[in-house]
Amino acid sequence: MSKNKAKKEVQEKEYRKPLIKKRKPNRSIAGDIALYLFLTLVAFVMAFPIIYAVSSALKPLDELFKFPPTIFAQHPTLDNFSDLFITMGKSWVTFSRYLFNTVFITAVGTAGHLIIASMGAFVLAKYEFPGANTFFKVVTVAMMFTGYATAIPNYIILNKLGWIDTYWAIIIPAFASPMGFFLMKQFMEGLPTSLIEAAKIDGANEWKVFSGIVMPNVKPAWMTLIIFSVQALWNNKASTYIYSEERKTLVYALQQIQAGGIARTGQGAAVLVVVMIVPIIIFVFSESQILETMASSGLKD
Amino acid sequence: MKEFFERYVKLRKYNAQIAWKKAKRSKMCYAFLAPYAVLFAMFFIFPVVASIYFSFTYYNILEAPRFIGLQNYISLVLEDDIFLTSIKNTFMIAIITGPLGYIMSFLFAWLINELPRWVRSVAVIVFYAPSIAGNCYVIFSVFFRGDPYGYVNAFLMNTGIIDAPILWLINPTYMLPICMLVILWMSLGTGFLSFVAGLQGVDKSQFEAGYMDGIKNRWQELWYITLPNMKPMLMFGAVMSITQAFGVCDVTMALCGYPSTDYAARTIVTHLFDYGYSRFEMGYACSIATVLFLMMILCNKAIQALLRRVGT
């Protein structure tokens, strides 16, 4: 009888164990609750302007000017978006052309950046050759200043190349973005070297190793490069490099509409949503891969 | 002394020979790196050199650059009051939003680290979204509108804190603080992502070991275990926030106008745009760019030296 009881106790103990262990040590309940409250509050503050931007894009004109304002649209409509299309339809350069310009710049710039940066990152990460470390150090230094510091000489160089007022003025410099290169190299270093050696023993040449073995294995890093590149190119107004109206980007055209004053308030709100929605959606769908890449983003010295 | 020198030269020669042989053997590597290296040199290294060169010249694109020595720098410091304002503004913004944004990035990354998985991914989206939301920051010009119908004004007047509307974006006293607020709102960027990812990668067994060794609360855990493990990410995040803090221009241009009232919201970058793209005084603009470049690099190096000491 007593043996049985002891057994039962043991069983109960085992049952209880995970329940007790679930709370981590070093954490107080009060602290957790306070943190949750704090995080909720901050999250609300952070999200508020974006929520407000989206809801004002859905408001009809009379609600936009209502005072005191409502946070959520009472009668949501898509009128602002359709108005936007009408205004764009009446512009000298058609909406589809602006859209094509932006999509072209974004797609070509991102694809080229992905291929060129991965090629360079691959040899830097997996081979040793004279100059490799120095080159990587220079790239890291390049991340330390913004593009603005080199904007003027860049303009002069592009001018000498005759690329001012063409798409290439935006696309080609985007190929060389140091950020993507850096992240790609750091991520590729985590790839097991034995994988490459095995492929070499099987008779694959360097290009085959790169395109067949390495690239399929660094897909998370692809997504990261793509989001950073798209984010930079989609939002690129390009107004300093491109003068011709028919080559200007969508964002530029949209912001011209936005600058149209009070009468265009509704359309302006719609523009905000159109511009911000693309990078955010890409991020939402690729978040886990981006975080996987960023795990290797540290700067070691 | 002479003998020592000769031996040194011999050694260097020998090393160079080895490097050359190695380089010959790894032609393939150079072939892979070449496309990126060429573009990188053309658009990132060469511009820096060119910028330093042009900063000593008078250059307006149409005429050939004319060498004028240090004249540009002398004018910058002695004659250009607006440049000094812009330096002051940039430093104010960088000193306040840089460290604050950096600390915020780490703090929130650390706080959301222990949330359940799906809550965490939602939180990452909410916190990161402002920094990729395009020009969503112009919505703040609605909040801070100068008339009594601006939301902030209306709120403050209804609660009786002020009795007349404040021209938030036109009055020089309020311009910079509001810009800083907006920049802080957008400051959870790439560094934040790096922190979130890095915190996930900290070895869990270290926390257990720390618990055995008598770590009592989450703050000690943070200082003795998490931070030393996060050092590489902290470095990366610092680079990101310094670069961002010194490059501020979009927000001030969108909210306060370009040029802003009394140049109260002018930053180095907007000053650069003014001389580069509006007046086409490229030589002068390059000297501004060189100053900006030096400031960023020096600041980055200083902060990195500081961060090396974290947790040691």
pLDDT digits (tens, 9 = 90+) for B149-184: 888 888 888 888 888 888 888 888 888 899 999 999
pLDDT for residue A257: 81
Interface residue B171 vs chain A (CB under 8 A): no
Helices (H), chain B: 2-25, 27-40, 46-54, 71-74, 81-112, 117-132, 140-143, 151-158, 172-185, 190-200, 204-212, 218-221, 227-229, 231-246, 250-256, 268-273, 282-307
Distance from A141 to chain B by nearest Cα, in Å? 8
pLDDT for residue A21: 47
Interface residue A257 vs chain B (CB under 8 A): no
As to burial, measured by CB atoms within 10 angstroms (0-12 exposed, 13-18 middle, 19+ buried), residue B169 is buried
pLDDT for residue B311: 59
CB contact under 8 A, A272 and B136: yes
Quote the CA–CA distance of A131 and B1 in Å, as a whole number. 31
CB B145 within 8 A of CB B153: yes
User: What residues are paired with B58 via a beta bridge?
Assistant: B66
pLDDT for residue A4: 63
Quote the CA–CA distance of B43 and B83 in Å, as a whole number. 26
Q: Which residues of A touch B236 (CB under 8 A)?
A: 297-299
* Domains delineated in chain B: 1-53 (no CATH), 80-143+172-307 (1.10.3720.10)
Considering chain A, what percentage of its residues have pLDDT values greater than 90?
15
Question: What average pLDDT does this structure show over A21-42?
Answer: 78
Quote the CA–CA distance of B234 and A277 in Å, as a whole number. 30
Q: Which residues of B touch A25 (CB under 8 A)?
A: 211
Quote the CA–CA distance of B112 and A29 in Å, as a whole number. 16
Question: What's the token pair of residue A171?
Answer: 């696309």
State yes or no: pLDDT of B73 exceeds 70. yes
Using 50, 70 and 90 to split pLDDT, how confident is the model at B15? confident
DSSP state of A165: T
Q: Which residues of A touch B36 (CB under 8 A)?
A: 116-117, 119-121, 175-176, 181
pLDDT for residue B307: 85
**Class of the CATH domain delimited by A84-294:** mainly alpha
pLDDT for residue B40: 92
| pTM for the model | 0.85
Question: What average pLDDT does this structure show over B44-59?
Answer: 91
Q: What's the pLDDT tens digit per position in A214-261?
A: 888 888 888 888 888 988 888 887 777 888 888 888 888 887 887 777
CB B40 within 8 A of CB B48: no
pLDDT for residue A11: 56
Q: Which of A26, A47, A127 sits opposite B26 (nearest CB)?
A: A127
CB contact under 8 A, B114 and A231: no
pLDDT for residue B185: 92
CB contact under 8 A, A294 and B211: no
Interface residue B52 vs chain A (CB under 8 A): no
Picking from B113, B111, B109, B115, the residue whose alpha carbon sits closest to that of residue A35 is: B111
Check the CA dihedral A159-A161-A164-A170 and report its sign.
negative
Quote the CA–CA distance of A183 and A161 in Å, as a whole number. 29
Q: Identify residue A157 by its one-letter amino acid code.
A: I
User: What residues are paired with B67 via a beta bridge?
Assistant: B57
Q: What's the pLDDT tens digit per position in A79-123?
A: 888 888 888 777 778 878 888 898 899 999 999 999 999 999 999
Q: What's the pLDDT tens digit per position in B75-106?
A: 998 988 899 999 999 999 999 999 999 999 99
Q: What's the pLDDT tens digit per position in B130-145?
A: 988 878 888 888 888 8
CB contact under 8 A, B239 and A210: no
Instruction: Tell me what the pLDDT averaged over chain B comes to.
Output: 87
Helix (H, G, I), strand (E, B) or coil at B41: helix
Q: What's the pLDDT tens digit per position in B225-266?
A: 888 888 888 888 988 888 888 888 888 888 888 888 888 889
pLDDT for residue A274: 84
Using 50, 70 and 90 to split pLDDT, how confident is the model at A19? very low
Q: Which residues of B touch A151 (CB under 8 A)?
A: 272-273, 276, 289
pLDDT for residue A115: 93
Integer-rounded Cα radius of gyration of chain B: 25
Distance from A2 to chain B by nearest Cα, in Å? 36
Helix (H, G, I), strand (E, B) or coil at B131: helix
Distance from A10 to chain B by nearest Cα, in Å? 25
Q: Which residue of B has its CA nearest to A45?
A: B185
ipTM of the complex: 0.85
Q: What's the pLDDT tens digit per position in B99-127?
A: 999 999 999 998 888 888 888 899 999 99
pLDDT for residue A301: 61
Q: Which residues of A touch B149 (CB under 8 A)?
A: 67
Integer-rounded Cα radius of gyration of chain A: 27
Picking from B92, B304, B113, the residue whose alpha carbon sits closest to that of residue A35 is: B113
State yes or no: pLDDT of A6 exceeds 90. no
Interface residue A50 vs chain B (CB under 8 A): yes
User: At what angle are helices A250-258 and A95-126 packed, to 10 degrees?
Assistant: 130
pLDDT for residue B173: 87
Q: Which of B133, B242, B289 sits opposite A152 (nearest CB)?
A: B289
Picking from B131, B127, B153, B141, the residue whose alpha carbon sits closest to that of residue B178 is: B141
Task: Provide the total of helices (H) and of strands (E) in chain A, helices listed first.
Answer: 15, 0
Q: Which residues of A touch B151 (CB under 8 A)?
A: 69
As to burial, measured by CB atoms within 10 angstroms (0-12 exposed, 13-18 middle, 19+ buried), residue B261 is middle
Picking from B183, B175, B219, the residue whose alpha carbon sits closest to that of residue B102 is: B183
CB A119 within 8 A of CB B17: no
pLDDT for residue A8: 58
Using 50, 70 and 90 to split pLDDT, how confident is the model at A20? very low
* Residues within 8 A of B (CB atoms), A 179-238 only: 179, 181, 206, 210, 228, 231, 234-235
For chain A, where do the domains classified as CATH 1.10.3720.10 start and end? 84-294
pLDDT for residue A87: 81
